[in-house]
Structure 1
Amino acid sequence: MAPSIHQDVLTVAAQTPHLLSAALALSCDQVRRLRGNDSIELQNRASFFLRKAITGLRKAMNDPTEASNFSTICTVLFLCTNEVMAGNTMAMRTHLHGAENLLSIALGKNRHEAVTDLDDKKLFLIRWFAVVDIFASIMSLDKTTSSDGQFWNIGAPSGTSSPQHIDEFVGFSLELMPVLARIGRMARLQRRRKALGSSLGSGYAEMADDLDMLLADNILLTEQQLSLLFTRASSPSLLHTQDPLLVDEAVYVHQMFVHAALLHLYRRVQELPELDPKPAIALASMLDLLGKLRPESPANVLILWPLFTAGCEAEDPELRNYIEVCMGRIRNYGWGNADAASAALRAYWDESNGERWDVFLERRGFDVVLF
């Protein structure tokens, strides 16, 4: 997150016990994973702060003057993120739904409008919610969030045509968010269409033709939009970092996300075979960018979703081993959902028998949130 927002969160947390407790609960679990330490003391401490955060949050949500405050929504998102890292996706979705409702109240009439003119705190909350929301739904064919894109209109500032920089918090340009949302919706539409099939009756053939044309137009539009996003530059604030290599690595990470989005478009929506040049080139480009990241770079913590996508497409055993090594780098930062991602990948490699990965994940009941 941006330094100014980071300071805002710390300042508000120091004055809001439930927010501070939620942050401390997440921190305790993060330290435990970083150390590989499952001590009862750390678990009890995290549980204590978690209970304190939930108790305070309930009181705040019952007070109309506090329910839509920055501190309240921030607490919900901390709890949501904590459940993501713990692999508790059911609890995560409960918190995510709560965050959506509170954001709707906080934004009021602005909820369906461009959000770039909102103050920094609200924009930060929307970014945080949106990135979890997107990655809670894009890998899934049936577990969707109710917002389905209403908060993702985070484009260039009003009245300008200048491209955005790469966002340090999410790892890619915010312009990619609505595109990812659309790809997820189109993939689910394709799946539902196949499931219904000819059971729709005699009018199905005409309906199918119309849907083919609509999807073809959307695929072309989405592909064009993604191709324009490759040129996004690192955030200006990174130019003053103590690690100048991060400036280049931020670009590599962003471009990995764009290639991963193309892979989802080609394989799940357009349904191209894996050996088709388009998905093959997208995968090769992702792997080339992955090789440019230093093993010790903090940028590795951002690439779980594109890395998982590459792993789903990987057939070569050596490449799969390399993907596992890269997953380990994310795990070394205390990112608990890397464990769930690795487990799903290994199951897919062992059991899929050529089945497409999103279909396999649905059939086997894997609910991975790759944030």
Structure 2
Amino acid sequence: MPLVHQPLLNHSPYLLSEESRFLMHTFATQTAQMLFPAAPDFFLQRMISAAMETPHLLHALLASSCSHHSRLIQDSGPRSKMICLKYTNMAIAGLRAALCDQDQATKPETVTTAMALCTNDVCNGNMKIWRTHLRGVLRILMALLQHQRVSLKLMDDPFIQCLVKWFKTMDILAALSGAHGECIHNPGNGPLNGLSDYATWHVDEISGYSLELIPTLAEVSKLASQIRPHASGETEEDYSPSLETMIQAEDLESKLFQLFDRPVCDETLSRGGSLALELHGTHLAFVHSALLHLHRRVQLHPKDHIKVRADVQNILEALSLIEPHSPMNILILWPIFSAGCETEESEERDTILARMGNMQKLGMGNFTRAREVLHRYWVSGSKLPWDIYLAKLGLELVLF
């Protein structure tokens, strides 16, 4: 069912051009579902409704729609790029103006605009500016939450909860995707951790896994960044984890084993279809990928180690719970890419390439770049961990 109806477009207080109407329709019927394939309807409906009243958010969503549509039809021509740049610049100008107005600066719509722009940077491969934008999002989000503390109960608004989860998901995946290993926001002890126990216990519909996993993912990533080889050419064989590191790793491994069995919420079950089963698959894929990251990057086991082989096979088993062409595959780029980097089995590689290729056809630019980098890594035969290999080549991915 479309997330925005024609009367909503017709009654927008802002006159939409034919181009804008087409792009907004595309966002509502295609782009939104690609960015958030399992999100509750209220989140996307409110985002789109708010855009009809908020020019800077409207322009951010139009830029996102334009980028996605261009990738979908494989149009990389100058006209398409100029249209996307036009709406991006309009969104940025409107966002700056909103941030100068105290009332506008603390509205959820302002955070949504910043997050939409940042996400579009990642999908378009604009690596030079996305992290700056993500830090900006954090500042705006913190201002919003401070305003909520004064006027309402913190995190009482489910839409704001979704915004926080959107930010936390991108932040942790950025930390896991590169050599820096640090989250912008501390997920273990910070002001963004006001989500209810109910929300964290269940598999989340924004991230695709239980939010209980995020602090442990952050610990694994941080520990790996402290002991991993440098981009100067050393391999993991030149390093051996300390006794303290090994103890920490065993503790993290125990924590991860306790996170396998997480249910979906009743509301998700009520939506029917294969959603619940596929969310179970995305959650398992992330837990097994966290174990893979721990075994390969912290404990420095080789690819043929029994634990590493089991991790890869378990990720692929979780993948089998998700239909090959389902948009739910979009949630698990990090697990798919990680498994691909750690296997030398041709059948497993073919499965992974096929899934990533399906998501490319849905217009997801981050899958396109990840698939190209994965193939390049295979061809190189490099013994370096994939994140170090990318850093050495000056490449950067955000597996979101």
Partner of 1:82: 120
Count of residue pairs brought into register by the alignment: 353
Partner of 1:28: 66
Q: Conserved in 1, the CA contact under 8 Å of 2:162 and 2:206?
A: no
Q: Conserved in 1, the CA contact under 8 Å of 2:277 and 2:322?
A: no
**Uncovered stretches (5+) of structure 2, i.e. residues with no partner:** 1-38, 233-238
Report Cα offsets for 1:50-102 as digits up to 9, x if no partner: 12101101111222332232111111100000011101112111110101122
Report Cα offsets for 1:93-122 as digits up to 9, x if no partner: 1110101122222334999xxx98543233
Q: Does 1:265 align with 2:294?
A: yes
**Uncovered stretches (5+) of structure 1, i.e. residues with no partner:** 196-207
Q: Conserved in 2, the CA contact under 8 Å of 1:223 and 1:262?
A: yes
Partner of 2:173: 135
Name the CA distance, whole Å, in 2 between partners of 1:313 and 1:223: 18
TM-score w.r.t. the length of structure 2 is 0.80
Name the CA distance, whole Å, in 2 between partners of 1:185 and 1:74: 28
Q: CA deviation at 1:163?
A: 6.8
Equivalent position amino acid for 1:235 in 2: C
Moved more, 275-284 or 77-86: 275-284
Percent of counterpart pairs with the same letter?
A: 34
Equivalent position amino acid for 2:162 in 1: F
Query: Which of 232, 242, 261 does residue 231 from structure 1 map onto?
Result: 261
1:66 is paired with a residue whose SS is: helix
Query: Which of 101, 114, 117 does residue 63 from structure 1 map onto?
Result: 101
TM-score w.r.t. the length of structure 1 is 0.86
Q: CA deviation at 1:310?
A: 0.6
Alignment of 1:308-323 (within 5 A): 308-323=337-352
1:171 is paired with a residue whose SS is: coil
Equivalent position amino acid for 1:157 in 2: S
Q: Conserved in 1, the CA contact under 8 Å of 2:296 and 2:302?
A: yes
Name the CA distance, whole Å, in 2 between partners of 1:117 and 1:15: 23
Alignment of 1:1-371 (within 5 A): 1-108=39-146, 117-142=155-180, 144-149=182-187, 151=190, 154=193, 157=196, 164-191=201-228, 212-241=242-271, 244-371=273-400
Partner of 1:202: none
Q: CA deviation at 1:231?
A: 0.7
Q: CA deviation at 1:239?
A: 2.1
Name the CA distance, whole Å, in 2 between partners of 1:235 and 1:109: 29
Moved more, 2-11 or 170-179: 2-11
Equivalent position amino acid for 1:217 in 2: I
Name the CA distance, whole Å, in 1 between partners of 2:180 and 2:269: 42
Instruction: Quickly say closer, same or farther: Cα 1:163–1:86, change in 2 above 3 A.
Output: closer
Q: Conserved in 1, the CA contact under 8 Å of 2:57 and 2:109?
A: yes
Instruction: Quickly say closer, same or farther: Cα 1:281–1:116, change in 2 above 3 A.
Output: farther
Name the CA distance, whole Å, in 1 between partners of 2:120 and 2:231: 36
Instruction: Quickly say closer, same or farther: Cα 1:192–1:353, change in 2 above 3 A.
Output: closer
2:397 is paired with a residue whose SS is: coil
1:180 is paired with a residue whose SS is: helix
